[in-house]
Structure 1
Amino acid sequence: MAMYRAGDWNDLDQIKVLGVQRELTDWYGKNHRKLPWRETSDPYYIWVSEVMLQQTRVDTVIPYFLNFIEKFPTMEDLAQAHEEEVLKAWEGLGYYSRVRNLQRGAKVVVEQYGGQVPKDLQEIKKIPGIGPYTAGAVLSIAYDQAVPAVDGNVMRVFSRLFCIEDDISEGKTRSEMEKIGRVVVPRENPSSFNQGLMELGALICTPTSPKCIACPVYGQCCAAQRGIQNELPIKKKKQAAKEVQLEVALVWNDDKVLIMKRPGDGLLASLWAFPSAVREEGWEPGSNIIAVLKEEYGIIVDDINYVFDAQHVFTHLKWNMEVYDCKLSSTVELDYPQIQWVTLDEIGNYAIPTAFMKVLRKIDGG
């Protein structure tokens, strides 16, 4: 079975393409999972679901999606909501820039497009947070347009289906995959075809041990016929996550603990967290966080005691957190809304990132 190279996509075997279109669409119609965002053609709901599904498992997304739509049932509701409320609804999903861009995009749609997600490809890509994949997903699923939606699952399927040996972590390879999509996405029922590609990658054409016998396009698959399905796709190994030693302070004032709102940009921007500081080389354990509390916030603590460790791994970063119990000694009076004293019961009203929720659960003994 022939391998294909960049630039050959318009020359794809049309019999093969028609077979893939027919078999995949039929398979999706009979076998797709029943998911809440598949019960609607509302472009807003589909947009929300696609943003949530980026880097997050379907089972995890379902309750978040239902809760988010309940809180913000329309584009206007999301656009007008306070950022703190939106971040709280997203709490635990991680990658908070996704929801910030989603809200920014909703405001643009409301202000510039009358609350209606544009049906034109070039227009929809002008909206903050909507790239080629999300644009293709919304246009094909909500508006039934023959536009490709190429994510990691789809690139894996295409790599095996057409024996593509280019590194899928490279931008130029994604561009080539999008060209394939423009050739193979049918004009008739592109919604089911695109969702079928996504579902195939999620359930059958998995990263390891693909279930080839159950694959509806097995007979069309170049990699399966050549026995190299486990060797594709080609993807360079990720760099090991950089490890950072972080000191975290639980500063107590009677039954209340100190939380601080993180800066508006950078990692975990605008979320609430316990005070923390990166340990400088050569400093005694706990001394960095003591210095930060005093110099940046005028808070002096004593009786600092190590209590436990916690870890959290981001995409390219690993936090090794040393958590210290700190008794408040004195503090200057600061009119600073980014600092709050809260009880453990009240802390649930604030958007706390997963890294610090791990600390909170250990405090509660969970």
Structure 2
Amino acid sequence: MLEQIVTPLLSWYDKHARVLPWREDTAAYRVWVSEIMLQQTRVEAVKPFFERFIKALPDVQALSEAPEDELLKLWEGLGYYNRVRNMQKAARVIVSEYGGDFPADYEKLLSLPGLGHYTAGAVSSIAFGIPMPAVDGNVLRVLSRVTASYEDVLKQSVKTAMEAEVKKIIPADRAGDFNQALIEIGAIVCVPNGKAKCEICPLAFLCEAYKKGIVDELPKKKVKRERRIEDRTILILKEGDRVGIRKRPSKGLLAGLYELPGLEGHLSEEEVLAQVKAWGYAPLRILPLTGAKHIFSHVEWHMTGYAISLEETENMDQEGLLFVDVKETEEHYPIPAAFAAYAEYLNISLGQEKYKEGK
């Protein structure tokens, strides 16, 4: 049955494909960067990140040589920072083993750090025309509905089986277009959460879920476990025009990024002032800030905060804290979006907020 989707899908894509910066030039490096960025981030949000990243690091060689802080700053706001670290590892392999050129070989691409079956399939098909599948969440949703499959799409065995089915029908002369068409229709037509636009879908004529009226029931996904809740107290420590930040450990959550210092639990003003004095600082004023929440994949931070003005001392940089000009934090130090609510009190923007304001 799936063979019947090829012609109408490609015809639809030829007319309705979105104009995207990484489609203007399908060099392997650009395809790769865009695909990693697009994982769990909306297309419209990715555009400015992609353009800034490519401008700063235009090729594999530049990526392989980028200092970590610059790399993480370019990624600020996209989350999942290990992805860009793996990109740099892969870039270094490409430079050392392939002379800086992406290998036009699916298996060699798959062997690179951070490239799974989807990314290897996307790069090999879009950049090199190799007929290999690129099955992401959009494709899993489309295929589940077309075939009316109730199998759990989060199971690797189900994804592997769908990849095998797609591989059978990929047209050798339009492999990249076909994969992008499947992804595209899932992104803008066969969308999730009861919003599917079946009335304009070119695959509705053979979609089993549409015929049976079960589109909203698919795809099936096993219920995820609940996230762990962590209470945090975030501190904005200011001395004149400088703010205290510190680098997080090299391993664990938000590894290697800079943060506004935090304490476990929701602390009172008295507890916070006692801790700041124990660090060797002299607080002048303290202002309670509103609460905020940030959701990671397996944990939620429930935060409260305080802005504290400090008296200048001879040694401000202690307890792992680095006092830097407020504007420098926005320009040079990678600070994750988890702190965006408190960055507002410093009149700076982090990650995606910068682009919303046209900065």
Q: Do they superpose with TM above 0.5?
A: yes
Offset, 1:290: 5.3
Change (3 A) 1:235 1:293: farther
Which of 337, 342, 345 is equivalent to 1:354?
337
Aligned length: 346
Q: Counterpart of 1:249 in 2: which secondary structure?
A: strand
1:63 aligns with 2:45: no
Deviations 1:243-302 (A, max 9, x none): 21101112222332110011111111111111112218xx756637954884xxx44454
TM-score, normalised on structure 1?
Answer: 0.87
1:148 and 1:182 in contact (8 A); partners too = yes
Which of 327, 333, 343 is equivalent to 1:345?
327
Which of 207, 221, 227 is equivalent to 1:235?
221
Which amino acid in structure 1 is aligned with residue 95 of structure 2?
V
Q: Tell me which residue corresponds to 1:275.
A: 261
2:281 and 2:313 in contact (8 A); partners too = yes
Q: Counterpart of 1:189 in 2: which secondary structure?
A: helix
1:177 aligns with 2:162: yes
Q: Tell me which residue corresponds to 2:17.
A: 32
TM-score, normalised on structure 2?
Answer: 0.89
Offset, 1:81: 0.9
Report the Cα distance in structure 1 between the residues aligned to 2:54 and 2:297, rounded to whole angstroms.
Answer: 27
Which of 247, 261, 265 is equivalent to 1:261?
247
Change (3 A) 1:227 1:80: same
Q: Tell me which residue corresponds to 1:120.
A: 105
Which amino acid in structure 1 is aligned with residue 341 of structure 2?
K
Q: Counterpart of 1:64 in 2: which secondary structure?
A: helix
1:41 and 1:142 in contact (8 A); partners too = yes
Change (3 A) 1:184 1:64: same
1:299 and 1:331 in contact (8 A); partners too = no
2:233 and 2:265 in contact (8 A); partners too = yes
Q: Tell me which residue corresponds to 1:22.
A: 7
1:277 and 1:289 in contact (8 A); partners too = no
1:167-316 aligned at under 5 Å gives the runs 167-207=152-192, 208-279=194-265, 287=271, 291=275, 294=278, 298-302=279-283, 304-316=286-298
Offset, 1:234: 0.7
1:299 and 1:330 in contact (8 A); partners too = no
Q: Counterpart of 2:134 in 1: which secondary structure?
A: coil
Deviations 1:150-182 (A, max 9, x none): 100000011011121111122222122222222
- Which sits farther off after the overlay, 172-181 or 299-308? 299-308
1:146-165 aligned at under 5 Å gives the runs 146-165=131-150
Which amino acid in structure 2 is aligned with residue 287 of structure 1?
E
Which amino acid in structure 1 is aligned with residue 212 of structure 2?
R
**CA RMSD, 1 decimal:** 2.4
Report the Cα distance in structure 1 between the residues aligned to 2:320 and 2:126, rounded to whole angstroms.
Answer: 41
Gaps of 5+ in 2: 350-359
Offset, 1:364: 2.7
1:83 aligns with 2:43: no
2:317 and 2:323 in contact (8 A); partners too = no
Deviations 1:56-88 (A, max 9, x none): 000000111111111111110111111111111
1:107 aligns with 2:92: yes
Q: Tell me which residue corresponds to 2:356.
A: none
Change (3 A) 1:98 1:363: same
Q: Counterpart of 1:244 in 2: which secondary structure?
A: strand
Q: Counterpart of 2:326 in 1: which secondary structure?
A: coil
Q: Tell me which residue corresponds to 1:12.
A: none
Change (3 A) 1:254 1:209: closer
Q: Counterpart of 2:70 in 1: which secondary structure?
A: helix
Report the Cα distance in structure 2 between the residues aligned to 1:241 and 1:206, rounded to whole angstroms.
Answer: 25
Offset, 1:311: 2.0
Deviations 1:96-138 (A, max 9, x none): 1221111111111111111111222221111111000000000
